[in-house]
Amino acid sequence: MKQKHGKICYNVFKAGGGYAAVAAGSRGIEFFCLPQKSRRSACAKVEKYFKGAVKQEKGIDELEALCCVLSGYFETGTGDFSGVKTYLPGFTGFEKRVLAAVKKIPAGEVRTYGWIASAAGAAGAARAAGNALNKNPVPVLIPCHRVVKSSGDTGGFSEGIKWKKRLIEIEKIKGPEAAGERKKNGCKKKKNTV
């Protein structure tokens, strides 16, 4: 999926006990690297995905704001990424519809691969939906970890099952009913938004 990109800038920031990175071009966020053990590892993941990416130390307020919200997400399991503009060149129309459907899954809830395929206009194409999610370059922003098998099993994840389970635990997702339970208990946390 090597595509020509314009200038790509990225920030590395502390998150989840390590270092994460987010990369953007002029059209939006194009890549998010889940926390790595070292700053160097996070940089290497971005630079492998984008040859010639430029590391930003300061200067792009929107990128810095997103880094802060993402960092907070790994501490609290909350964050509103609905307004984050992503740019995903090289994806087919079906793949874009799959990712758009996944972006609408509320925090604390899950959907099945079959449900996502239907929402993308291709009922019965659960495997194809899973393949589209495996290409997602912006996990968390497009929360593909919230998609599970119809059996209730976790299913796959591009960064490995351990990461998917960790993200589910961070959000305290227990099943499709989890979000409803949170609403009932009356807890109001400070909204973590970009």
pLDDT per residue as tens digits for the range 49-75: 998 888 876 556 788 889 999 999 999
Residue-wise pLDDT for 63-111, tens only, equals 888 999 999 999 999 988 988 999 999 999 999 999 999 999 998 899 9
The dotted CATH code for 93-184 is 1.10.10.10
CB neighbour list of residue 144: distance below 8 Å, 6 or more residues apart = 99, 102, 133, 136, 157, 158
Query: Among the options 9, 33, 144, 187, which is catalytic?
Result: 144
pTM: 0.84
Average pLDDT over all residues of the chain: 85
Would residue 144 show up in a list of annotated catalytic residues for this protein? Answer: yes
Residue among 173, 160, 159, 96 at smallest CA distance from 129: 96
Residue among 126, 62, 48 at smallest CA distance from 94: 126
